[in-house]
Structure 1
Amino acid sequence: MKRISIIALAVAGQWAAPAVYAADAAANSNMEKISVVGSRIAMRTATDSVAPVDIITAEQLEATGLTETARALQFAAPSYSFPFSAVTDGSDAVRPANLRGLSPDHTLVLVNGKRYHSSALVHLSGTVGKGASNVDLNTIPMAAIKRIEILRDGAAAQYGSDAIAGVINVVLKDNRDGGMVTTQLGQTYEGDGEQWRIGANKGLSWSEDGYVNISLEAQHKNKTNRAGLDPRDQYPRLADGSRDPREATFDRQNFHVGDAEYDNLALFANGAQYFGENKFYFNGGISDRETHSGAFYRRALQDNNVPEIYPDGYLPILAPRIKDYSALVGYEFDLGKWHVDSSAGYGKNSFQYRVEDSLNASYGPDSQTSFDAGTLSTDEIDLTIDASRYFAFYNQSDIMLAVGAAWRQNGYEIEAGEEASYANGGYQNKPAGSQGFGGFTPESEVDESRHNTAVYAELENQLSEAIYWSAALRYEDYSDFGDKISWKLAGRYDFNDNFAIRATANTGFRAPSVQQLYFTNISTLFNPDPTTGQLVPTESGTFNNLSPVTQALQVGKLRPEESTSFSLGFVYTGDNGLTITLDSYQIDIDDRIVLSSSLRASDSDVVGAALAGTNAESARFFINAVDTRTRGVDLVVAQQFDLGSLGELKANIAYAYNNTDIQDIHLPEILDDLQGKLFDNIEQVRMTEATSHHTGSLGLTHHLGDFTTSLRASYFGPYTISYSSTGDKEYEGKTTVDLSVAYAATDTLTFTVGAQNLFDTYPEKRPSNNNYNGIFQYPLTNTPFGFNGGYYYAEATYRF
């Protein structure tokens, strides 16, 4: 067998970009087909791979007409879900996403094959992935992306922690000359959500063998609002019991239920300098985003209002500022027959809580109206080195051996907000803290870190034209919970040029994140003592595993989640260009980490005793409590048609099915009698039914002369939300249709007009007995495509 000289190098289990520089357009075209994830032997396409891989090009992302990277990915890959949420605190700014219906933190994200850091935010409201922290893909501008590769298979033995559901690898643009500028304007059919986006990309050569590719993107979007009218009394009744005359003129669309307003600015760079066969490479980026979303409206008659400041009530606005930084440098070189790659990377994400149009009612008329409520931040350092080479093997084939090591440190910090955001001013026994989001107290502050070391080895062999196999083994040692070993076996057999079968088996793990280990949010409340009338401080909130409360409840230290996965797939490649891939899988996860429901002191003597020393009314915490099994099927069908004088048509059908079942719920012995409260039906339904089991899409792209027309129908199946007052509610599935037409006015200038959700489809409305007096017309969380309705846009792109 001929040795393949171009390899996708790996760094301690993380795939690096191919060690080759494409000097012309034809080479670049071929490079688009390379699957970096899933195999260290390059030139494998999605249909050649041993595990299912989606390769989504920049053109496919741009064709969606969407300006957010994460949302565009949802419509390009049905197995990836990016559900909508509103009035969910910080999750309005950094929405959770997931792969194969699992938790957001079960998917590992790479940039150019290297691990990318996560968001500092912990999702605490009723969203999918409650208790998780995910990577914020929207920190990576679409203008910087060359392609995105999604490995839909467990890969912890290759990549380490988090790769239970799969891997998303974002490949940055690397052209050394030329560039593009694109701008888009649009708004919803309702006339809100106006937005603009400007993106620019430029390749620059500083030497014959060196380049840097720079991308800059700026975005602005106005809010959308689908809140119903508030029918409730807003003002205290008059002395005779009649309504205040101001009720007749009050603007009753006083809530904000929809997309947040946001401004985003991002800069990314990707470059390299070649020294013969060796290469120094680097990439990094900066992102700065500010959003504005609404909390619950405070009516004029409520105790948490001060009429001297807001005579008509007020809507607190959460205005977090999210800053993200990343930088990576590496050097590839040959040492004898070994190819060595070493790299060092750093990433940081900070989430500063700010509250506007608010007040601290306990300060009375002297209260300020905007607050710094504290900052969450996380950072990550990655040091990696690996080496790979080929050896002669059986049947005149070559076997590739890759070995490597990595060291990683993760840090997490909570900074308290300004005093007025949490303190009690003592005014008329009114509630303390900034309304909308109470500030982090000094008692909530943490500054902790943990590190781990990993070593791995992998074998990969194309034994014959028909047989390919690989095996991987990885050992990791963490400073906080100990060590872990993961393995993977994969194989593929090609019966002929048209039909192949592929299968994988692997174990995996996900280490508890530093957010789950150290996040705490203790709110201090002051309530009058019923006997003395004096204000008595009480605490309520989330306690981490360092807290005496969780230790008294014998929750124990968080352990890694452990998985066992199997997949079996079939690949058909027709002589006429038809390709079909069908892959089934099963993923068993033990000891999944969940954020418990709130336990009150009155729930049991044990809880009461644990809370007694803190004056806390309730507590919730992270715990390894659930075993699950997820089964699913992914189908992808693609075909290209030559229509002669009528042009060229590309068709793609994708379907994804997954279903998660809870196998066991296990709690500390002293909490066994609280199982129904600690992980209640609401949380169980959120884990198993909140994501659609069935999703699919039909995409058609037609080229005729200077015109390119894209039509996409996306189906989102039924999903269920559990409500405490009215039980479970299943929402029906819906189909949305997107249409765009692009006209190439010149070789360099293209104009596009399009519509997302062309037929203005909305999700099913909430039942009348559970819509908060008609204000919340649609589910606030987990709606697969949101409730903004149709959106139209125009775009111009200049390439040079």
Structure 2
Amino acid sequence: MKGYNLVALAIAGQLITPAVLAADNANNSDIEKIAVIGSRIAVRTATDSVAPVDIITAEQLQATGLTETAKALQFAAPSYSFPFSAVTDGSDAVRPANLRGLSPDHTLVLVNGKRYHSSALVHLSGTVGKGASNVDLNTIPMTAIKRIEILRDGASAQYGSDAIAGVINVVLKDAKDGGMITTQLGQTYQGDGEQWRVGANKGISFSQNGFVNVSLEAQHKNSTNRAGLDPRDQYPRLPDGSKDPREATFNRKNHQVGDAEYDNVSLFANAAQYFGDSGKLYGYAGYSQRETKSGAFYRRALQAGNVPEIYPDGFLPQLAPKIKDYSALLGYEFDWGKWHLDSSAGYGKNSFNYRVENSLNASLGPTSPTNFDAGTLSTDEYDLTLDGSRYFDFFNDSEIMLALGAAWRQNGYQIQAGDEASYANGDYQGKPSGSQGFSGFTPESAVDEQRHNTAVYAELENQLTDDFYWSAATRYEDYSDFGDKVSWKLAARYDLTEHFAVRATANTGFRAPSVQQLYFTNISTLFNPDPVTGDLVPTESGTFNNLSSVTQALQVGKLRPEESTSYSLGLVYTGDNGLTVTLDSYQIDIDDRIVLSSSLTPDDSAVVAAALAGTNAESARFFINAVDTRTRGVDLVVSQRFDLGSFGDLQTNLAYAYNNTEIQDIHLPTILDGLQDQLFDHIEQVRMTDSTSHHTGSLGFTHHLGDFTTSLRFSYFGPYTIAYSSEDVEYKGKTTVDLSVAYQATDNFTVTVGAQNLFDTYPQKRPADNNFNGIFVYPLTNTPFGFNGGYYFVEGRYTF
């Protein structure tokens, strides 16, 4: 809600943590004071902060050779996870990410210190964060980013809903002159996934005290495919029982399992005009459009879901969503007497248009179209804030900072029905209805709802002595749909010696149910494997919101906010020789976590059968406050810079993150007693607790010598578990190696060559008895670094 700025040191290719900043401070006593995200008081270095903060520079993101902001961030911050997924409907286009192993919607995202809107997509398939909607960081072009700050601490009392796991603040470039043009090309070792990215950034000074910084980026990536061959019969057997001759020439690599193809264009502008000593009119605006294309399950020629007159050899339905994102913010800050005031108004909108290509609605027979508009999800957000702060004299000749503020926010959610052909039932030969791959939203699923909330908050911060700092915050929020919440935070830091300090925080937090969880509804065709044959069997599954007669009949009740209590304790060491170490432990208890339930069928209970009567659904799932969890973890960062004399200088950084989530309780409505295993089954429990690696780490080296900068990074992703219908499989931990070399050919031009996953590491394969006839070689979801193998790239950068 408030704008916090952070001065970062631009060390190319290196994770800039508090430890790194302090290390540089040992060699430069003139570094200005900085204000760390989560605090208003300027401190000497980031290691003076009361909570752990990671700072990732634009150079470090670019050194990964990756073109997606979210994916590049994963390799820069071990506590941030961006697991791979494939054949997961819309989640192939907007993948979920998380911080500290919690849900994607437990992390608040800011842009220039102001709340950023979320994606309209609800993750419905078997990904991490199933049932959540996350902020799509890929709507922000990497070209526009100056740095990214990650506050690894709960901060709901300061920022409001969603900041249970932490806060990610994306700081946009603000140079008032100069610019750069960059071009990058790359592909995987296997020769697919070819991609290019072209970006341009320009700072423009439109007055003596004003600027606008504009970034434009376009990128394209071809799909990757690591599917195995399909050994099954594709055509009906001949009358004599022999195979159809076409089986011999059929291309058995009929699935597409890998990265989606995508095209993306984005434009961002950041601007400010200064007036006198304290006045500042500021704002930003952004637009992005992305079109992706990924495969669903292949429909064989002999399947009931096929119409041979249209696809005599079967077909692969392709989801081709179009995603549009808009954002704008305008603010003004100034001094009024002893008060510093900041007011702002922001707007954000995200739309997700489901399009299905190379498909059909089998129930319409040979007249079925093959391309469909299956409907559009959209969400929008309005934010108004007024914030003021000033200092008062306090004990021990210190000053205490008081901040007061108020905020108003409105969130809206809309579902627009798809083309009639995308959901219609034409009753042709009893074949399944709806567009294959993704069935369209019906008019009954259409919604247009909104909710609003008002907040007031207060903060106190005080550097009582040179050695002791403390802060306190409290926040009251009132929501139009569920009522009010109060949260608070206490934090302190004490410097034991010149080199050692201890820091601690305690806070409560909350996450309001998102409008997506409140209002999403749909009846669609899901395909589940037959336990005997392994073939996919279609079922009509309904996702019902809290407004539906189904959830009311099941007495699910209105969604309530999730509530958290968090504690952290950390140690900081800053040596005279530039060595810095930060070690932070934490515990996060969350009650009433909102989950998307498993599917209940009429066979589970007479109550369920009665609730589904009169609907077209064969099963029901819904959002419910059903789970209490406890997450414990440790974050370690060690940094050291070495002066190698005539051999240049070397910056090293070790980062390690451990977290473990345990389910404390599962609670259900009385009417659903006895259905715990069905409502939140074992697969979902494992997905919440063990599908993300408990141990992650990285070891990075950045070496500067003359015109050359070499970056070498080892990234470790620990074991993780995926529960299948027949067994739990623990996948082994793996280490990937990334290497890049940048050569500054002239003062203005730099060329970089590198490899991501240098040694072509792949995750462990799925077990032979659980790989869908050998087609799904690797896990479709939750693999922390994907299964594309090695990737090499070249980049040219011209600055002016």
TM-score, normalised relative to structure 2: 0.95
Letter in 1 for 2:796: A
> Which residue in the other structure is 2:45 paired with?
45
> Which residue in the other structure is 1:698 paired with?
699
Return the alpha-carbon distance in structure 1 between the equivalents of residues 452 and 409 of structure 2.
6
Letter in 1 for 2:227: A
Shift of 1:36: 3.6
> Which residue in the other structure is 2:257 paired with?
257
Residue 631 of structure 2 aligns to a residue in which SS?
A: strand
> Which residue in the other structure is 2:531 paired with?
none
Residue 76 of structure 1 aligns to a residue in which SS?
A: coil
Shift in alpha-carbon separation, 1:141–1:615, aligned structure 2, 3 A: closer
Residue 554 of structure 1 aligns to a residue in which SS?
A: coil
Return the alpha-carbon distance in structure 1 between the equivalents of residues 422 and 761 of structure 2.
41
Shift of 1:80: 0.2
Return the alpha-carbon distance in structure 1 between the equivalents of residues 525 and 225 of structure 2.
32
Residue 47 of structure 1 aligns to a residue in which SS?
A: helix
> Which residue in the other structure is 1:308 paired with?
309
Please show how residues 698-737 of structure 1 align to structure 2 within 5 Å: 698-724=699-725, 726-737=726-737
> Which residue in the other structure is 1:669 paired with?
670
Return the alpha-carbon distance in structure 1 between the equivalents of residues 364 and 620 of structure 2.
27
Deviation string, structure 1 residues 204-251 (Cα, Å, up to 9, x no partner): 000000100000000000000000000000011111110011111100
> Are residues 1:754 and 2:754 paired?
yes
Return the alpha-carbon distance in structure 2 between the equivalents of residues 686 and 325 of structure 1.
32
Please show how residues 278-297 of structure 1 align to structure 2 within 5 Å: 278-297=279-298
Shift of 1:65: 1.1
Structure 1, gaps ≥5 residues long: 1-12, 20-25, 526-537
> Which residue in the other structure is 1:657 paired with?
658
Shift in alpha-carbon separation, 1:718–1:478, aligned structure 2, 3 A: same
> Which residue in the other structure is 1:275 paired with?
275
Deviation string, structure 1 residues 610-650 (Cα, Å, up to 9, x no partner): 11233532100000000000000000001100000000000
Deviation string, structure 1 residues 247-287 (Cα, Å, up to 9, x no partner): 11100000000000000000000010111120100101000
Please show how residues 434-513 of structure 1 align to structure 2 within 5 Å: 434-513=435-514
Please show how residues 275-674 of structure 1 align to structure 2 within 5 Å: 275-276=275-276, 277-523=278-524, 540-674=541-675
> Which residue in the other structure is 1:86 paired with?
86
Is the Cα–Cα contact under 8 Å of residues 55 and 150 in structure 1 kept in the other structure?
yes
> Which residue in the other structure is 1:15 paired with?
3
> Which residue in the other structure is 1:535 paired with?
none
> Which residue in the other structure is 2:183 paired with?
183
Shift of 1:17: 4.1
Is the Cα–Cα contact under 8 Å of residues 438 and 525 in structure 2 kept in the other structure?
no
Return the alpha-carbon distance in structure 2 between the equivalents of residues 303 and 29 of structure 1.
74
> Which residue in the other structure is 1:738 paired with?
738
Deviation string, structure 1 residues 17-48 (Cα, Å, up to 9, x no partner): 479xxxxxx99999998454121113453311
Is the Cα–Cα contact under 8 Å of residues 35 and 41 in structure 2 kept in the other structure?
no
Return the alpha-carbon distance in structure 2 between the equivalents of residues 782 and 524 of structure 1.
23
Return the alpha-carbon distance in structure 2 between the equivalents of residues 185 and 524 of structure 1.
39
> Which residue in the other structure is 1:159 paired with?
159
Shift of 1:524: 8.3
Return the alpha-carbon distance in structure 1 between the equivalents of residues 208 and 56 of structure 2.
30
Is the Cα–Cα contact under 8 Å of residues 63 and 740 in structure 1 kept in the other structure?
yes
Letter in 2 for 1:612: A
Shift in alpha-carbon separation, 1:285–1:32, aligned structure 2, 3 A: farther
Letter in 2 for 1:246: R
Is the Cα–Cα contact under 8 Å of residues 35 and 53 in structure 1 kept in the other structure?
no
Shift of 1:293: 0.2
Structure 2, gaps ≥5 residues long: 8-23, 527-538
Return the alpha-carbon distance in structure 1 between the equivalents of residues 95 and 522 of structure 2.
20
Is the Cα–Cα contact under 8 Å of residues 355 and 434 in structure 1 kept in the other structure?
yes
Return the alpha-carbon distance in structure 2 between the equivalents of residues 186 and 680 of structure 1.
42
Letter in 2 for 1:583: D
Is the Cα–Cα contact under 8 Å of residues 422 and 524 in structure 1 kept in the other structure?
no
Residue 302 of structure 2 aligns to a residue in which SS?
A: coil
Shift in alpha-carbon separation, 1:569–1:102, aligned structure 2, 3 A: same
Shift of 1:187: 0.4
> Which residue in the other structure is 1:3 paired with?
none
Return the alpha-carbon distance in structure 1 between the equivalents of residues 386 and 421 of structure 2.
48
Return the alpha-carbon distance in structure 2 between the equivalents of residues 738 and 524 of structure 1.
41
> Are residues 1:143 and 2:143 paired?
yes
Shift of 1:362: 1.2
Shift of 1:386: 0.7
Residue 729 of structure 1 aligns to a residue in which SS?
A: strand
Residue 406 of structure 1 aligns to a residue in which SS?
A: strand
Letter in 2 for 1:215: S
Is the Cα–Cα contact under 8 Å of residues 35 and 55 in structure 1 kept in the other structure?
no
Residue 673 of structure 1 aligns to a residue in which SS?
A: coil
Return the alpha-carbon distance in structure 1 between the equivalents of residues 89 and 561 of structure 2.
28
Return the alpha-carbon distance in structure 1 between the equivalents of residues 6 and 67 of structure 2.
28
Return the alpha-carbon distance in structure 2 between the equivalents of residues 652 and 539 of structure 1.
51
Letter in 2 for 1:551: Q
> Which residue in the other structure is 2:101 paired with?
101
Shift in alpha-carbon separation, 1:31–1:601, aligned structure 2, 3 A: farther
> Which residue in the other structure is 1:74 paired with?
74
> Which residue in the other structure is 2:536 paired with?
none
Return the alpha-carbon distance in structure 1 between the equivalents of residues 32 and 671 of structure 2.
56
Is the Cα–Cα contact under 8 Å of residues 439 and 525 in structure 2 kept in the other structure?
no
Letter in 1 for 2:699: L
Deviation string, structure 1 residues 633-675 (Cα, Å, up to 9, x no partner): 0000011000000000000000000000000000011112100
> Which residue in the other structure is 1:215 paired with?
215
CA-based RMSD of the aligned residues comes to 1.8
Is the Cα–Cα contact under 8 Å of residues 561 and 590 in structure 1 kept in the other structure?
yes
Return the alpha-carbon distance in structure 1 between the equivalents of residues 505 and 470 of structure 2.
10
> Are residues 1:65 and 2:40 paired?
no
Is the Cα–Cα contact under 8 Å of residues 46 and 55 in structure 1 kept in the other structure?
no
Shift of 1:14: 2.8
TM-score, normalised relative to structure 1: 0.95
Return the alpha-carbon distance in structure 2 between the equivalents of residues 554 and 312 of structure 1.
47
Residue 616 of structure 1 aligns to a residue in which SS?
A: coil
Shift of 1:496: 2.4
Return the alpha-carbon distance in structure 1 between the equivalents of residues 451 and 525 of structure 2.
29
Return the alpha-carbon distance in structure 1 between the equivalents of residues 453 and 132 of structure 2.
20
Return the alpha-carbon distance in structure 2 between the equivalents of residues 702 and 231 of structure 1.
50
Letter in 1 for 2:599: S
Return the alpha-carbon distance in structure 2 between the equivalents of residues 79 and 35 of structure 1.
22
Is the Cα–Cα contact under 8 Å of residues 441 and 523 in structure 1 kept in the other structure?
no
Shift in alpha-carbon separation, 1:32–1:182, aligned structure 2, 3 A: farther
Matched length = 771
Is the Cα–Cα contact under 8 Å of residues 4 and 35 in structure 2 kept in the other structure?
no
Return the alpha-carbon distance in structure 2 between the equivalents of residues 751 and 673 of structure 1.
63
Is the Cα–Cα contact under 8 Å of residues 32 and 57 in structure 1 kept in the other structure?
no
Return the alpha-carbon distance in structure 2 between the equivalents of residues 43 and 50 of structure 1.
10
Is the Cα–Cα contact under 8 Å of residues 43 and 49 in structure 2 kept in the other structure?
no
Shift in alpha-carbon separation, 1:33–1:460, aligned structure 2, 3 A: closer
Is the Cα–Cα contact under 8 Å of residues 6 and 35 in structure 2 kept in the other structure?
no
Return the alpha-carbon distance in structure 1 between the equivalents of residues 336 and 347 of structure 2.
27
Return the alpha-carbon distance in structure 1 between the equivalents of residues 735 and 629 of structure 2.
29
